[in-house]
Amino acid sequence: MMNKILLTAIIYLVCISFSDASDLKLPSVLGSNMVLQQQSKTNLWGWAKAGTPVTVHVSWLKKPAKTTTDSNGKWKLFIHTPVAGGPYQIKISSDTTYNLKNIMIGEVWVCSGQSNMQMPFHGYNSQPVLMSNDYISHGNNNNIRLFTVKKELSVIPSDNCEGSWSVSNPHDVGNFSAVAYIFGNYLQEVLNVPVGLMHVSFGGTPIESWIDESTIKSEFKEIDLSLLNRPTEVKQSTPTVLFNGMIHPILNYTIRGIIWYQGEANRTRADQYSKLFTAMIGSWRELWNQGEFPFYYVQIAPYKYDTLVNSAFLREAQLKTLKTAPGTGMAVTLDIGEKESIHPSEKVLVGKRLAYNALANTYGMKELPYSGPVFKEMIITGNIAILKFDFSRYGLSSFQKKIEGFTIAGADRKFFTAQATIKGGDLVVISDQVPLPVAVRYCWENFAVGTLFNTAGLPASSFRTDNWDK
Look up the CATH number of the domain holding residue 111. Answer: 3.40.50.1110
Cβ(331)–Cβ(297) below 8 Å: yes
Q: Is residue 124 part of a domain?
A: yes
Overall domain count for the chain: 2
Is residue 294 within 8 A of residue 314, CB to CB? The reply is no
Whether pLDDT at 85 is above 60? yes
The residue from 316, 340, 370 where one domain ends is 370
List all residues 6 or more positions away from 247 whose beta carbon is below 8 Å from its beta carbon: 112, 200, 210, 284
Q: Is 470 within the bounds of a domain? A: no
Check whether residue 263 and residue 378 sit in a common domain. no
With respect to residue 143, please indicate whether it lies within any of the assigned structural domains: yes
pLDDT at 15 (0 to 100): 47
Q: Does residue 8 surpass a pLDDT of 80? A: no
294 with 238, same domain: the answer is yes
Q: Give the residue from 370, 389, 422 where a domain finishes.
A: 370
Residue 453 lies in a domain: yes
Q: Is 351 in the same domain as 216?
A: yes
Residue 247's pLDDT is 98
3-state secondary structure string across the chain:
CHHHHHHHHHHHHHHCCHHHHCCCECCCCCCCCCEEECCCEEEEEEECCCCCEEEEEECCCCCCEEEECCCCCEEEEEEECCCCEEEEEEEEECCCEEEEEEEEEEEEEEEEECHHHHCECCCECCECCCCHHHHHHCCCEEEEEEEECCCCCCCCCCCCCCCCCEEECHHHHHCCEHHHHHHHHHHHHHHCCCEEEEEEECCCCCHHHHCCHHHHHHHCCCCCCHHHHCHHHCCCCCCCHHHHHHHHHHCCCCCCEEEEECCHHHCCCHHHHHHHHHHHHHHHHHHHCCCCCCEEEECCCCCCCCCCCCCHHHHHHHHHHHHHCCCEEEECCCCCCECCECCCCCCHHHHHHHHHHHHHHCCCCCCCCCCCCEEEEEEEECCEEEEEEECCCCCEECCCCCCCCEEEECCCCCEEECEEEEECCEEEEECCCCCCCCEEEECCCCCCCCCCEECCCCECCCEECCCCCC
- Say yes or no: 393 and 341 in one domain: no
Could you tell me which of 327, 270, 265, 317 has the C-alpha nearest to residue 295?
327
Residue 20 counted as domain residue: yes
Same structural domain for residues 322 and 423? Answer: no
Q: How far apart are alpha carbons 131 and 336 in whole angstroms?
A: 15
Quick one: pLDDT at residue 470? 83
Which residue would you say has higher pLDDT here, 262 or 23?
262
Q: Is 86 a member of any domain?
A: yes
Domain boundary among 343, 370, 397: 370
Residue 167 · residue 184 · CB < 8 Å: no
289 CB burial (10 A radius; 0-12, 13-18, 19+): exposed
Residue 420 reports pLDDT greater than 70:
yes
Nearest CA to 422 out of 401, 397, 402 is that of 397
Is the separation of the CB atoms in 406 and 440 below 8 Å? yes
Over residues 274-300, the pLDDT tens digits come to: 999 999 999 999 999 999 999 999 999
Decide if pLDDT at 456 tops 90.
yes
Closest CA to 409 of 381, 370, 432, 438: 438
Task: Say how far apart CA 46 and CA 84 lie, in whole Å.
Answer: 25
Q: Is residue 248 assigned to a domain?
A: yes
What residue type is 412 in one-letter code? Answer: D
pLDDT tens digits for range 94-120: 989 999 999 999 999 999 999 999 999
- On whether the CB atoms of residues 56 and 90 are closer than 8 A, the answer is yes
Strand order in the sheet with 384-390: 374-381, 384-390, 426-430, 419-423
Domain shared by 29 and 11, yes or no: yes
Q: Which domain holds residue 394?
A: 374-464
| Together in a domain, 290 and 419 | no
| pLDDT tens by residue, 49-64 | 999 999 999 999 999 9
Say what the pTM is: 0.94
Instruction: State residue 387's pLDDT score.
Output: 98
Residue type, 47: W
Look at residue 32 and tell me if it is in a domain. Answer: yes
pLDDT at residue 427 greater than cutoff 50: yes
Dist. CA 63–CA 76, nearest whole Å: 17
Q: In this predicted model, what pLDDT tens digit does every residue of 367-403 receive, in sequence order? A: 999 999 999 999 999 999 999 999 999 999 999 999 9
**323 and 399 inside one domain:** no
For 151-181, the pLDDT digits (tens) are: 999 999 999 999 999 999 999 999 999 999 9
Tell me what pLDDT residue 22 has.
53
CB 439 within 8 A of CB 407: no
Same domain, yes or no: 275 and 325: yes
Lowest mean pLDDT among 18-32, 126-140, 316-330: 18-32
Residue 242: phi and psi, rounded to 5, are -80, -35
One domain, residues 191 and 120: yes
331, 294 in Cβ contact below 8 A? Answer: no
Residue type, 174: G
